[in-house]
Amino acid sequence: MQFTAELRFDDGVLEREFTLGEIPGILWTPGSASASAPAPLILIGHPGGMRRMYPRLAARARHAAAEGYAGATIELPGSGDRPRSAVAEEARADLRRALQAGEPVADEIVDRLVLPLVEQAVPEWRATLDALQSLPEIGGPVGYSGGVIAIGVRLAVVEPRISAALLFAGSFVPRAMFEEARQVTIPLQVLLQWDDEGNDRQMALDLFDAFGSKEKTLHANMGGHTGVPHFEGDEASRFFARHLK
Amino acid sequence: MQFTAELRFDDGVLEREFTLGEIPGILWTPGSASASAPAPLILIGHPGGMRRMYPRLAARARHAAAEGYAGATIELPGSGDRPRSAVAEEARADLRRALQAGEPVADEIVDRLVLPLVEQAVPEWRATLDALQSLPEIGGPVGYSGGVIAIGVRLAVVEPRISAALLFAGSFVPRAMFEEARQVTIPLQVLLQWDDEGNDRQMALDLFDAFGSKEKTLHANMGGHTGVPHFEGDEASRFFARHLK
């Protein structure tokens, strides 16, 4: 892991860009006041396109840093400056066509789009976690927050270092992964936008039902994909405070 | 409204029992530190049996009082020391039989049990609100919290003084009232226990969908009717803080 640029915000938060092999990422650590002890880490997911998502990612990370967490994100395979996948691009176009036509989204489109992404992204997030945990400023439990929900599901199953996950039911999950959802046992908070144009409400409710976790909470709010209410930021902080501290 | 007994807790909260005609009730007002200005009021619902429910009601009221709210509750028609209704008792027995047998609950049972209760209880809560608002220690916006959800729905429609409602999807709602739900426009937070043995999950989700409010949030948690997680008490406070302050 190589740090390539750094920036200190007025609130003391240190933002550092890094690369892990070919993968670009960003790490935010709390300001000096709270940085005496190693900070628990939240992995900050996104739908792909880290630069495009930067303002929202930085806002989430600085919100978390104010509560004493480090935050980190990496670019997804096939997004941003990373090489495109022809299979994924075609599947994404098929998905967009189905949604625009108001048609049900065929399972095989979701499979083509999401399964290879999960297969590639999850080991990358785990390698990032290895690298981050070797830093003296990172320590303690790890949370995962947001992004492509199928990646969050797989990480919650295979990565024992993740203690709690906040999942955003804002993208399709391959049917084959519902079995995996039953194997999730860590505490979950699941966000659902009731009229999300990029998801299927019943599928999201079925997925919530499938999770094996004893402690899981669904927060459903009105509006479309980008309409998550501002107060859910604080709700996320409180969820992680219950489970990472 | 006549006050019949009073008790001052260590935290300064004043609890007063009252009667409004034949109806017994309890009023909690914040301690002297926060009592300089009139306190916004939260009407505290329950399933009937105010004495039996007292420990939980007092805990909710004192939690709210710590945040600066007055709280009040009244006994429901046919519960506690109030005269029983033969129709309601029979309907309740029919409901219990259906639930114990694992059968679907017929709409007509729900109608017999809930519709007369709503018809009688809602004017009583409104008369209580009249009386409470004439007290100098009560002022500002009014919230409604918990209890029989059909009563909360009707109150949210007909009582313009209620600015926000926290509803507990823990009891059946007559089908005829789904149309009424569409007329609700105030901010709502709806609590759902995912495996509530006294409710139907899909009915609760349909009801949440039906509410006309632009701002409505569903909090679904694992477990049965009495398993609402402790942290939802704080979530309730924050909901009312957003809308009653």
Sorted by where each begins, the domain ranges of chain B are 2-83+118-244
Q: Are B216 and B113 in contact (CB under 8 A)?
A: no
Q: Are B17 and B51 in contact (CB under 8 A)?
A: no
Cβ count near A99 (within 10 Å): 15
Asked whether the predicted pLDDT for residue A192 surpasses 80, the reply is yes
Q: Work out the minimum CA distance from B75 to partner chain A, whole angstroms.
A: 31
* Per-residue pLDDT tens over the stretch A73-115: 999 999 999 999 999 999 999 999 999 998 989 999 999 999 9
Q: Does A215 touch chain B (CB under 8 A)?
A: yes
pTM of the model: 0.86
State residue A35's pLDDT score: 54
CA dist A138 and A132 (Å) reads 7
Average pLDDT over residues B81-97: 94
To the nearest whole number, what is the mean pLDDT of chain A? 94
Kindly determine whether residue A220 and residue B217, on different chains, have CB atoms separated by under 8 Å: yes
Asked whether the predicted pLDDT for residue B32 surpasses 80, the reply is no
CA dist A205 and B208 (Å) reads 13
Amino acid, res. B48: G
State residue A10's pLDDT score: 86
State residue B198's pLDDT score: 82
Closest CB to A217: pick one of B205, B214, B219: B219
Looking at chain B from residue 49 to 88, which residues have their Cβ under 8 Å from any Cβ of chain A?
none
Q: Is A239 exposed, middle or buried (0-12, 13-18, 19+ CB in 10 A)?
A: buried
State residue A197's pLDDT score: 86
Residues of chain A with Cβ-Cβ distance to B220 below 8 Å are 208, 217-218, 220
Kindly determine whether residue A194 and residue B205, on different chains, have CB atoms separated by under 8 Å: no
What fold does the segment set B2-83+118-244 form as a domain?
Rossmann fold (3.40.50)
To the nearest whole number, what is the mean pLDDT of chain B? 94
State residue A33's pLDDT score: 54
Tokens of B197: 């043995």
Size of interface A-B (CB pairs under 8 A): 43
* Per-residue pLDDT tens over the stretch B105-128: 999 999 999 999 999 999 999 999
State residue B10's pLDDT score: 86
Cα dihedral A210, A213, A217, A221 in deg (nearest 10): -40
Q: Which residues does residue A103 pair with via DSSP β-bridges, in sequence order? A: none
CA dist A185 and A147 (Å) reads 19
Average pLDDT over residues B172-179: 95
The pLDDT confidence band at residue B34, using thresholds 50, 70 and 90, is: low
Average pLDDT over residues A46-72: 93
Kindly determine whether residue A213 and residue B222, on different chains, have CB atoms separated by under 8 Å: yes
* Per-residue pLDDT tens over the stretch B52-68: 999 899 999 999 999 99
Q: Are A76 and A48 in contact (CB under 8 A)?
A: yes
State residue A245's pLDDT score: 81
Kindly determine whether residue B219 and residue A214, on different chains, have CB atoms separated by under 8 Å: no
Pick the CATH number of A2-82+117-244 from 3.40.50.1820, 3.40.630.30, 3.40.50.11310, 1.25.40.10: 3.40.50.1820
State residue B35's pLDDT score: 54
Asked whether the predicted pLDDT for residue A31 surpasses 90, the reply is no
State residue B33's pLDDT score: 54
Q: Work out the minimum CA distance from A238 to partner chain B, whole angstroms.
A: 9
Asked whether the predicted pLDDT for residue A160 surpasses 60, the reply is yes
Residue of chain A whose alpha carbon sits nearest to that of B218: A220
Rounded to 5 degrees, φ, ψ at B51 are -70, -45
Rounded to 5 degrees, φ, ψ at A21 are 60, -125
